[in-house]
Amino acid sequence: MASQPDWQRKLQELEQDIDRKLGDRSQSQETFNTTPLPEQTQTTISSLYHQAKTWFQTLPTIGQVAVGIGTVVLSLSVLQTVMRLVTLGISLAVIAVVGYMGYRLFFAPNDSPEA
């Protein structure tokens, strides 16, 4: 029984070491000027996450599979939309360059001096 206080002392030392390391980490994060989310926002996000996780875990297996498939389909749809917007932007840029070159070629006054 004499070893029990020794274990308690080691446990307290470990807790202090962890607290000290966490303190060092939080101070180093402050030096990078990061602005953490407000505590209320973190609580809200955490609460929503846990509600969704609980809801998902209460679904039957076939429901979990259906939700997984739906999530994949929705993610691919969003990715497809983003890719279409990028393609549209590139197309507009190419058309703008071609249009500008056509304007300069056919409608802009010549810069050559008349003699």
In a domain, 52, yes or no: no
Nearest to 49 by CA among 38, 57, 60: 57
pLDDT at position 22 is 79
pTM over 0.75: no
Q: Domain residues for 85?
A: 59-109
**Torsion sign (Cα): 31, 33, 34, 36:** positive
Q: What is the pLDDT of residue 15?
A: 82
In which residue ranges of the chain is pLDDT below 70? 1-4, 24-36, 111-115
Position 26 in a domain: no
Question: Is 1 part of a structural domain of the chain?
Answer: no
* Assigned domain for 101 exists: yes
Q: Please state, in angstroms and rounded to a whole number, the distance separating the CA atoms of residues 43 and 65.
A: 29
Q: How many domains does the chain have?
A: 1
Q: What is the pLDDT of residue 9?
A: 83
The answer to whether residue 86 is domain-embedded is yes
Residue 4 lies in a domain: no
Position 82 in a domain: yes
Question: What does each C-alpha distance from 9 to 2, 4, 89 come to in angstroms?
Answer: 12, 9, 64
Tokens 């810069």 sit on residue: 111
